[in-house]
Chains A and B, each alone.
Chain A
Amino acid sequence: MGILSSAVSITRYRVEGKIEGPVIETVLKGLKKNAIPEIDEEAESKAAGWTSFENPFHPNFDGSSFVFGNLFVFALRIDRKSIPAKLLKKHLTVETSKRLAKTGRRFLSKDEKQALKDKVVNDLAIRIPSTPNVYDLIWNYEASSLWFYSNLRSANEEIETLFRRSFNLGLLRLFPYTAADTTAGLSDAERDVLIGLSPTHFSD
């Protein structure tokens, strides 16, 4: 579900820190450097990186295409290859038989089995295309806020890591404690009370 969807899910973040130097150029550099790499026909089983909001399968950030008014709009793409267990078993059985026939032995050692499995996984990963998942985001730089269009934990963990690596800025996820601490306008004394809070019992 993304910006263009009729129903969306959003995780809210506060962006910690400011970019030193020209903002748009720095963001562009971070996007290009960490753009999603293509892993089809490669052995990698997973890749994550930035892509364009309007053209997620051909990332291109030139011409400030990620700038909409005072907002930065782009997307996180996570590509994964999934090898079906039965397919892996089939190829592993075939390769094991070949190896045994070639060596004239009846069994393979534990290490040989593992090495053969790694080779089969590697060979299949090259042949299997990856499945892409695209998660849009809207970054209001001036307001230090970012909306990430997914509530999936794995996607949220991925963006938190990639954002810091790309722009050298932290993302603070807004859940009850962090929202209370950073957006409710509490005084220091009220923050002390907040830390000491325990659950209220509304029933006897």
Chain B
Amino acid sequence: MLDLVVAYNRYRFLGDEFLTWLWYTIENDPSVLKSADPDCQSLEVGNRIVFENRKTKSVERITIKGDEAGLEEGRLALRKGALVSEIALIFKTGEYIWQFSLKGESLNVSNLKTPGPSLPQSPEQMDDFILEKTGQVDKILQFLEKIFSSFIRSRVSSKWMSKIAPSIKKWIVSIEAS
């Protein structure tokens, strides 16, 4: 294992590539999401997405937020070489909804809202609450681990340069044309 500080900085681009790939996957190949969790009915981009362009001398950052916000500026940022550095996501199963944000460089999860359970009304209910709440958090973290693993296995395969990266480039260009 590499020195952790070096590894954090040296490979932070993997997190941003992951989130960019995830947005591409949501729009173009949602079956990959289903393979990470068969209960996943949909994964949607939420009300906040941050782009960072590290190709320039100083880091350019664009934040798009708001329930009605369009993603046109974000798409323009992708064309200029930016990647998604943070994204709000909505995970839906048949009955339930989870909302959370995911940061590329750290893979930290923030603002995670689970579909339940209700707060315990007495100390006796705490055990059940903890176990149920943990199960709901675990569902999202397991999903993220699997979807990230899926990305990494693609990223280290020869298919990345021959097929996947060109498809993402094509998607970015098609955004320009649409």
Contacts and interface: CB of A to CB of B under 8 A. Distances in A.
A24 interface: no
A84 interface: no
Interface stretch (B33-41, B63-71, B89-97, B146-154): B146-154
Which secondary structure dominates chain B's binding surface? helix
Contacts of B152: 179-180, 184, 186, 194
Contact of B149 (A9, A172, A183, A199): A183
Interface in A176-204: 176-181, 183-186, 190, 193-195, 197, 199-203
Nearest to B127: A68
Given A179-B107, A202-B165, A7 B130 contact: no
A72 to B, nearest CB: 11
B115 to A, nearest CB: 11
Contact of A176 (B11, B141, B153, B168): B11
Interface string B17-38: 1101000000000000000000
A11 B133 CA distance: 16
Interface residues of A, number: 41
Most chain A CB within a 10 A radius of its CB, from B78, B104, B149? B149
Nearest to A200: B165
A68 B156 contact: no
Contacts of B168: 202
Contacts of A10: 108-110, 112, 137, 141
A178 B152 CA distance: 11
Which secondary structure dominates chain A's binding surface? mixed
B14 interface: yes
A177 B130 contact: no
Interface of B: 1-2, 4, 7-8, 10-15, 17-18, 20, 55, 78-81, 83, 103-113, 119, 123, 126-127, 130-131, 133-134, 137, 141, 145, 148-149, 152-153, 155-157, 160, 165, 168-169, 172
Interface of A: 3-4, 6-12, 54, 68-69, 71, 73, 138, 147, 151, 172-181, 183-186, 190, 193-195, 197, 199-203
